[in-house]
């Protein structure tokens, strides 16, 4: 009788009509039934557990005899509960039921038979005996794909929908009336295993138990199977059905291979030898470089390349195959021509020998067999759920993360152990993070940091061999040379990020696991904060104490903040109105873009990296980041820490280089779907043009500013002076929201200027590593020269220089904190961003709020603004009417990781920080279902 097989998940509807049922008692509602479970496998054992949990009595379990010393999981769980277990090798002799077996069954007194997964033919004397007869599980949407290989044929036929049926068993083969059906979409990348594990296993278990509840409540329908779309296919175990038909199109070949992907595999003949193919995908793009291969029966040549074996369909389109089985040995298809070369066995250390013992223990617990070097995992009866258990137990007990394909590629215990040890060694090597770097003693620290590009989890040299000079602005000495990326390196990094997003470990881990990795990275940044702050100080000129508190401190806070968001990204359900029938479910989901490019400036190297990358990764994207060419060192040290934190290869890629080559290549790259940029408005325009001309990638920009700070006479003057100085001189003025225009009410103008000059003279300028210093060197020489020219222009325009305005008379790129007064709105100093420690002070009439607001808004920039006043109405009116993305009242420069940051007008598009930043790295999908 009905031979049951594997199954699949996510429900779209079950048949709820109650059409009557044979033998049902009209008085029976919500009864607890006496149930016999007939079947085997982990699936059946899970159905058994839930049936008992729901209060039903399992009066007997009928399963298969032990395979060697391995007991079926259903028998094991039932025996542990002291439920009678009967291990039946045959129910029939010829066509006739064996009376002794039937009588043994009848003695249980079952009211209902449940066949969750049964590979045996059960006689009708058993099927029809109980009061409520027999319900059976089948992994297809009957009447399609009756027979023993339903999931395989679902994929082979290219069905767009899969599912399972619970039906009333009869004397046909999967022909009984339908009780319940559930379905799911077949994804383009689905295989037998993914369908089973994603839908048929979890939802099938629930579906069987739901069917039992319907029977118990006298609500189980009996719907005759349709006479349309009926199909019956033979068991795929027949070898002739496993052979590739080369007259098929590429899509048909792909469906055939994935339909046999778990077992036994689609086979063909190569050089007179049988070869089975696994891991197929439709090949997109141009033909790669590789070595030709003749395949019997296929028109044209196969091609062995670095990612597999290309085969050709009758329509000349291509399929890529990742794995091959030759003579029972699984290999990577890319290694086909090396398949006969024997790899040398690795020698295990004493610690590794102990690990082998642990592996043997895990295998034994799963297989219930004694384990030898030649023990074959699948040959011992293991299935796909056992693979999951094996990988998870190794992860939990041995702290080694493996992909499922490791066991598929190495099913023999000896080979599997070799791969696990190699993975363990590679993991240890990665965590030590080998690189060409620099060792220096500075700031009472032994400092070591990388100087190579970071691509796909490894530090590598640039394809061009070119380098960038890293100059210490405090004394203009050469710190080191860093590898300079080329356009070829951009392609390599983007490809690594694309693979990590689509196929790598990053694509498989849960959102919560992403948060764990991000928190782990934050912990490592905390542990190395002195090193990071020292590097930031050397590379950018930031004062060490400020770097420790803000550059590094806020970076750490940012990673922790966005780590908390990873598992809280959600869509919404939306009520819609539509023509009848108006039964609709509309909902949204938020999905990552994929590969994101980030281009960051030189003023806060690590903080700008963190502001953008933390939100980007929290959303699930992968990243290629270009640090500023003059400040790449903390980004590369960060890359080292990301490896130690356990980020999978390809998720984070750091490629120092020039904006002209690397930045432009990222903006134009067709596989980059989002670019985030902080820098000048001119470059922002260029990035927008490149994004539009390439693939219309999403763009977020944080650009220039000329932020107004308006100080009314009713302010706290001491606080206003202090805050305005911080607003201008913070981080030596290299601050995007610096108060570029200070408007002071005329009645306190002279007093304000006097106090600001007095306090500015007290600023301590010097070595940024000196804890007593509060003002370090400008970032690089070209910028220093720009500031000098900027001041010269201000003087020519008629602004009054009252302090500073020139380079300091000392080694290094030091510029005096500078104050200009009597600044008029038409002057260059009032219009263009200085991006340095230059305060431009203008006076205004405090009785005319409209006038000062008009002056404050008379700019194409709108990044930030501030106002000092004790008048709450004035403060609120100012906040409402000022054209700026960030507004400070009676404070300035107070940013927080939870508060969104970004500008209006030519100061940019989009936001960093806060919940709003996540939206920059997510796309919204709307789904509408009519039911």
Q: In 761-881, which ranges are continuous DSSP H helix?
A: 781-797, 828-831, 849-857, 872-881
| pLDDT band with cut points at 50, 70 and 90 for residue 686 | very high
Q: Quick one: pLDDT band at residue 846, thresholds 50, 70, 90?
A: very high
Active site residue 138: yes
Query: What whole-number distance in Å separates Cα of residue 772 and Cα of residue 762?
Result: 12
Asked if 825 contacts 806 with a C-beta cutoff of 8 angstroms, the reply is no
- Would you tell me the crossing angle of helices 350-367 and 384-398 to the nearest 10 degrees? 140
Tokens 């729901």 sit on residue:
54
Judge residue 584's burial from the number of C-beta atoms within 10 Å of its C-beta, 0-12 exposed, 13-18 middle, 19 or more buried: middle
Average pLDDT on 302-323 reads 92
Residue 23 has pLDDT above 90, yes or no: no
Is 259 annotated as contributing to ligand binding?
no
Burial class (CB in 10 A: 0-12, 13-18, 19+), 786: middle
Specify the pLDDT at position 10.
Answer: 29
Query: For residues 845 and 340, which has the higher predicted lDDT (pLDDT)?
Result: 845
Burial of 557 (0-12, 13-18, 19+ CB in 10 A): middle
pLDDT for 370: 85
CA-only gyration radius of the chain, Å: 35
In whole angstroms, give the CA distance from residue 114 to residue 125.
15
Contact by Cβ (8 Å): 868, 720: yes
27 marked as binding residue: no
Confirm or deny that 835 is annotated as ligand binding: yes
Query: What does the DSSP 8-state code read for residue 746?
Result: G
pLDDT of residue 428: 55
Distance CA 474, CA 642 (A): 29
Look up residue 172 and give its DSSP letter: S
**Active-site hit among 702, 734, 745, 920:** 702
Rounded CA separation 454/641 (Å) = 12
> Which position among 56, 118, 136, 138 bears the catalytic label?
138
Which one from 417, 480, 715, 736 is the annotated catalytic residue? 736
Name which residue leads in pLDDT, 830 or 327.
Answer: 830
Which residues neighbour 524 within 8 Å (Cβ) at sequence distance 6 or greater? Answer: 641, 644, 645
- Whether 43 has a binding-site annotation, put simply, is no
Is the pLDDT at 661 greater than 60? The verdict is yes
Per-residue pLDDT tens for 717-737?
A: 999 999 999 999 999 999 999
The pLDDT of residue 914 is above 50 = yes
833 labelled ligand-binding = yes
Q: Is 834 annotated in some ligand binding site?
A: yes
| Distance from the first to the final alpha carbon of the chain | 35
Does the annotation flag 122 for ligand binding? yes
Other beta carbons within 10 Å of 894 = 11
Structure tokens, 417: 């152990």
Q: How far is CA 47 from CA 58, 61, 122, 135, 208, in A?
A: 11, 12, 19, 13, 7
Per residue in 782-825, pLDDT (tens digit) is 999 999 999 999 999 999 999 999 999 999 999 999 999 999 99
Closest CA to 465 of 630, 689, 680, 657: 657
pLDDT the model gives residue 690: 95
For residue 795, give every residue at least 6 positions away whose Cβ sits within 8 Å of its Cβ, in sequence order, or none: 801, 805
- 736 is an active site residue: yes
List helix spans (H) across 402-466: 405-409, 413-432
The CA distance from 738 to 730, in Å, is 8
Summarised one tens digit per residue, pLDDT across range 436-446 is: 899 999 999 99
**pLDDT tens track for 197-209:** 899 999 999 999 9
């Amino acid at each position: 009788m009905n031979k049951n097989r594997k199954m699949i998940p996510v429900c779209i509807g079950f048949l709820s009509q109650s059409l009557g049922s044979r033998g049902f008692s009209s008085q029976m509602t919500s009864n607890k039934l006496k149930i016999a479970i007939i079947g085997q496998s982990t699936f059946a054992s899970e159905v058994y557990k839930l049936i008992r949990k729901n209060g039903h009595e399992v009066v007997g379990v009928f399963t298969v005899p032990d395979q060697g010393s391995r007991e079926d999981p259903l028998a094991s769980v039932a025996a542990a509960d002291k439920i009678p277990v009967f291990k039946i090798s045959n129910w029939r002799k010829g066509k006739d039921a064996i009376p002794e077996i039937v009588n043994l069954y009848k003695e249980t007194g079952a009211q209902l038979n449940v066949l969750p997964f049964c590979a045996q033919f059960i006689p009708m004397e058993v099927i029809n005996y109980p009061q409520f007869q027999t319900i059976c599980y089948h992994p297809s949407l009957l009447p399609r794909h009756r027979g023993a290989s339903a999931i395989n044929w679902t994929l082979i036929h290219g069905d767009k929908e899969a599912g399972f049926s619970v039906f009333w068993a009869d004397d046909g083969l999967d022909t009984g009336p339908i009780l319940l059906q559930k379905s799911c979409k077949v994804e383009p990348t689905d295989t037998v295993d993914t369908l089973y594990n994603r839908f048929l296993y979890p939802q099938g278990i629930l579906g069987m138990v739901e069917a039992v509840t319907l029977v118990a409540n006298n609500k189980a329908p009996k719907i005759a199977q349709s006479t349309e779309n009926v199909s019956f296919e033979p068991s795929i175990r027949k070898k002739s059905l496993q052979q590739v038909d080369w007259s098929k199109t590429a899509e048909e070949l792909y469906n055939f291979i994935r339909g046999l992907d778990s077992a036994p595999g689609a086979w063909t003949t190569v050089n007179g030898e049988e070869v089975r193919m696994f891991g197929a995908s439709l090949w997109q793009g141009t033909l790669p470089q590789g070595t030709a291969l003749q395949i019997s029966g296929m028109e044209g040549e196969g091609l062995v390349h670095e990612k597999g074996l290309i085969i050709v369909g009758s329509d000349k389109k291509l399929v890529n195959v990742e794995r091959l089985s030759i003579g029972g040995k699984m290999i990577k298809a890319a290694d086909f021509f090396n398949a006969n070369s024997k790899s040398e066995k690795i020698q295990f250390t004493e610690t590794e020998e102990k690990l082998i013992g642990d592996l043997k223990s895990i295998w034994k617990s799963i297989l219930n067999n004694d384990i030898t070097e030649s023990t074959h995992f699948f040959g011992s009866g293991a299935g796909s759920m056992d693979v999951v258990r094996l990988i998870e137990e190794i992860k939990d007990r041995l702290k080694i993360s493996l992909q499922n394909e490791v066991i598929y590629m190495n099913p023999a215990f000896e080979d599997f152990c070799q791969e696990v040890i190699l993975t363990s060694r590679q993991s240890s090597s990665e965590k030590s993070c080998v690189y060409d770097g620099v060792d220096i003693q500075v700031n009472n620290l032994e400092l070591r940091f990388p100087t190579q590009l970071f691509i796909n989890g490894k530090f590598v040299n640039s394809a061009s061999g070119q380098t960038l000079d890293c100059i210490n602005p405090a004394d203009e000495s050469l710190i080191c040379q860093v590898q300079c990326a080329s356009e070829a390196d951009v392609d390599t990094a983007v490809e690594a990020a694309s693979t990590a997003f689509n196929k790598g470990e990053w694509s498989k881990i849960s959102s919560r696991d992403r948060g764990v990795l991000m928190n782990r990275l934050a912990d490592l940044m905390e542990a190395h904060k002195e090193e990071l702050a020292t590097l930031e100080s050397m590379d950018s000129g930031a004062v060490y104490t400020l770097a420790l508190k803000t550059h590094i401190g806020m970076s750490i806070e940012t990673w922790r903040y966005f780590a908390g968001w990873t598992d809280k990204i959600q869509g919404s359900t939306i009520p819609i109105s539509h023509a009848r029938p108006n039964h609709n479910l509309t909902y949204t989901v938020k999905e990552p873009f994929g590969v994101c490019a980030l281009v960051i400036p030189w003023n806060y190297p690590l903080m700008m990296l963190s502001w953008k990358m933390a939100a980007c990764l929290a959303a699930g994207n992968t990243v290629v980041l270009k640090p500023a060419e003059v400040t790449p060192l903390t980004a590369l040290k960060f890359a080292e820490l990301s490896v130690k934190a356990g980020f999978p290869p390809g998720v984070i890629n750091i490629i120092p280089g020039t904006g002209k080559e690397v930045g432009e290549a990222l903006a134009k790259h067709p596989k980059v779907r989002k670019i985030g940029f902080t820098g000048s408005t001119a470059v922002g325009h260029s990035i927008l043009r490149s994004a539009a001309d390439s693939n219309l990638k999403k763009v977020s920009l944080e650009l220039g500013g000329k932020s107004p700070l308006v100080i009314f006479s009713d302010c706290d003057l001491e606080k206003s002076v202090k805050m305005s100085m911080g607003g201008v001189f913070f981080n030596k003025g290299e601050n995007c929201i610096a108060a570029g225009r200070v408007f002071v009410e005329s009645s306190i103008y002279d007093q304000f200027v006097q106090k600001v000059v007095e306090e500015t003279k007290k600023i301590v300028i010097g070595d940024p590593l000196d804890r007593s210093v509060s003002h370090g060197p400008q970032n690089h020489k070209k910028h220093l020269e720009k500031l000098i020219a900027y001041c010269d222009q201000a003087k020519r325009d008629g602004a009054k220089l009252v302090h500073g305005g020139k380079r300091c008379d000392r080694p290094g790129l030091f510029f005096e904190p500078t104050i200009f007064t009597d600044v008029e709105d038409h002057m260059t100093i009032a219009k263009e961003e200085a991006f340095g420690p230059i305060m431009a002070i203008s006076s205004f009439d405090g009785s005319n709020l409209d006038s000062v607001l008009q002056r404050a808004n008379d700019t194409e920039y709108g990044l930030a603004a501030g106002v000092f006043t004790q008048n709450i109405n004035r403060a609120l009116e100012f906040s409402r009417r000022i054209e700026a993305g960030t507004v400070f009242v009676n404070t300035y420069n107070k940013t927080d990781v939870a508060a969104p940051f970004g500008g209006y007008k030519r100061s940019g598009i989009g936001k960093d920080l806060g919940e709003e930043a996540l939206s920059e790295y997510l796309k919204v999908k709307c789904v509408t279902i009519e039911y």
